[in-house]
Amino acid sequence: MNWQRVWRSLRAEFGRSPMAKLGVVLILAVFLMAIFAPFLATTNPKAQDLSRANEPPVGFTDTTEDTRLVDGERQTVTVTTRGTLEYPLGTNQLGQDMYSRLLYGARTSLLVGLLGTAIAALAGVSVGIVAGYYGGRVDDGLMRFADVMLAFPALVLAIALIGLLGPQPVDIPDPFVAAGLVSDMPETTVLPVTVTLVVALVNWVWFARVARGEALSVREKNYVKASRSLGASDWRLMLKHVLPNSLTPILVLATVQVAVIILLESALSFLGFSGTTLSWGFDISQGRDLLATSWWISTMPGLAIVVTVIGINLVGDWLRDALDPDIEGESGGGMG
């Protein structure tokens, strides 16, 4: 693998493609949002203020009719609420600030997306390389198992496993709060462990397929055959030759998988399986019953997902166009 050449073609494609630039900008923005959420947030995303519930975003007004008792008589009053800068994206039915929740939601999405992809890649690449390198019965067995895994639609399997195992959330302390740099923000970020493991479990197969294909072709290369005949150990050969050669397609696949897993996580949160309430999918589900009155509660987090995933897909397109790996199955697991 010639890293210099990879770097050059990445740069050339980046210069050529305005879409690649847009993708990188979007992703950087989402990352910064997620990392510095405690500084950027204006209110604690979990703080409730029922007196300020269902306020529209700034620039919008919301008119509702309310029945009140005035001097012992029932009267219908029209209540107009105007969005304020205090809650730039409005509030939900608990009076929580949608903007701050959006920032913290980015943390959950990226955490699960990156960690889930990393675990899936590690597991899938190991299995794939072993299967492709040894071939024969090992290969047959592992790949038939992969087929069975593929026969379960990812979302259905994930729902089943999480529903049955429970979300098992783990609290990760927020370093900024711990260091005393900010106060009045959540002290921990919740990592939904089951969700992370399950999205990895349902997506490792894609990595296994790609890694296996690469290993199969590398195995037949002369320099690998030569090293083997000189007595190099299998593990050494796999680490030294097979792995580096598989990296380009795996990198492209991993990028796309982050998007897939973020979509999957949001779907699970939407269905109430995630174990954290600071999640875009969860917020969308909260706004679902209030569509007629408070459209923004579902709309805003959805837009955040779309923008994030578009960014990742654009970066994926950039890597694919620049590195041109041959990956079967286009975008991997899809969104379900």
Partner 1 sequence: MRLTRFLLRRTAQGILVVWGVITLVFLLRFITPGSTIDFVAPLDASPELRQRLAEDLGLNKPIYVQYADYIVNLLQLDMGNSLLKGRPASDVIFARLPATLELAIAATIVAILFSIPLGVISATRRHQPVDYGATGFSLIGISTPNFWLGIMLILIVGVNLGWLPTSRRIIGFGPALELLVFEGRTIGIQVWFEHILLPSITLGTYFTALITRLTRNGMLEELGQSYVEVTRAKGLPETLVKYKHVLRNTMIPIITVLGLQMGTLIGGAVITESVFNWPGLGTLIIDAINSRDWPLIQGSLIVIGVGFVVINIVVDALYMYFNPQVTFE
The site for partner 1 (CB under 8 A) is made up of 144-145, 147-148, 150-156, 159-161, 163-166, 259, 263, 266-267, 270-271, 281, 284, 287-288, 291-292, 295, 298-299, 302, 305-306, 309-310, 313-314, 328-331, 333-336
CA distance 93 to 241: 56
Q: How far is the CB of 161 from partner 1 (least distance, A)?
A: 8
Q: How far is the CB of 199 from partner 1 (least distance, A)?
A: 12
Nearest to partner 1 of 95, 163 (CB atom): 163
Q: Under 8 Å CB-to-CB from 328, ≥6 apart: which residues?
A: 209, 210, 213
Nearest to partner 1 of 162, 224 (CB atom): 162
How far, CA to CA in Å, does 167 sit from each of 111, 266, 276, 278, 285? 15, 14, 9, 14, 17
CA distance 35 to 190: 14
Nearest to partner 1 of 226, 291 (CB atom): 291
Nearest to partner 1 of 100, 109 (CB atom): 109
**Are the C-beta atoms of 175 and 159 separated by less than 8 Å?**
no
> Of 140, 139, 158, 149, which Cα lies nearest the Cα of 272?
158
Q: How far is the CB of 133 from partner 1 (least distance, A)?
A: 23
Task: Enumerate the β-bridge partners of residue 272.
Answer: none
183 φψ region: left (φ > 0), alpha (ψ -120 to 50), beta (else):
beta
Nearest to partner 1 of 101, 241 (CB atom): 101
Nearest to partner 1 of 38, 333 (CB atom): 333
Nearest to partner 1 of 49, 321 (CB atom): 321
CA atoms within a 13 Å half-sphere pointing along the CA-CB vector of 142:
25
CA distance 93 to 266: 20
Q: How far is the CB of 303 from partner 1 (least distance, A)?
A: 9
Alpha helices in 53-135 (DSSP H): 98-134
Report which residue type is found at 245: N
